[in-house]
Amino acid sequence: MDRDFPATVKLGNGRTITGVSLYRGRMKLSTNNQYPVVSCKNNLASPGDVNYPALSVVFPERTNVSVLTLHRTVTNVGPAVSNYHAIVSPFKGAYVKVEPLTLKFTKANQKLSYKIIFTTKSRQAVPEFGGLVWKDGVHRVRSPIVVVWLPPL
């Protein structure tokens, strides 16, 4: 990603930190001289790969970009042996594929990763909302999804 998104953060004590930005997949916090510079050393394939439960997909203005992939890692906090199956709500403007479709945990606190592939079938003028639900027959873990298509330039 070749864009900077500068922001200002106001702390509870009234002080302000300026220069919070996301640039080329790296998060960096640069501040005035009162605070040290803090930098995240993890490289992300895209800003959408920040490991939050919510999934936000923004198809850019360029209509030649029709596939976007997000990555997530989850931790088993339930029974040691657990199998979760993915169910995704349908979208008018995009196909959604989850790989793998089943997460098979074999121990407590185990981490597993999956990816979600979004493919445009028809660009929509308004955002679409839905969700990804992981079910094991007893528990349901939901991640909200929003898909947005920016209008062509």
Q: Which of 132, 152, 148 is nearest to 140 (CA)?
A: 132
What confidence score (pLDDT) does residue 4 get? 42
pLDDT of residue 94: 96
**Between 142 and 39, the higher pLDDT residue:** 142
User: What does residue 143 show for φ and ψ, rounded to 5 degrees?
Assistant: -120, 120
Q: What domains appear along the chain, each with residue ranges and CATH number?
A: 55-149 (2.60.40.2310)
Which uninterrupted H or E stretch holds 133?
strand 128-135
CA distance 53 to 96: 16
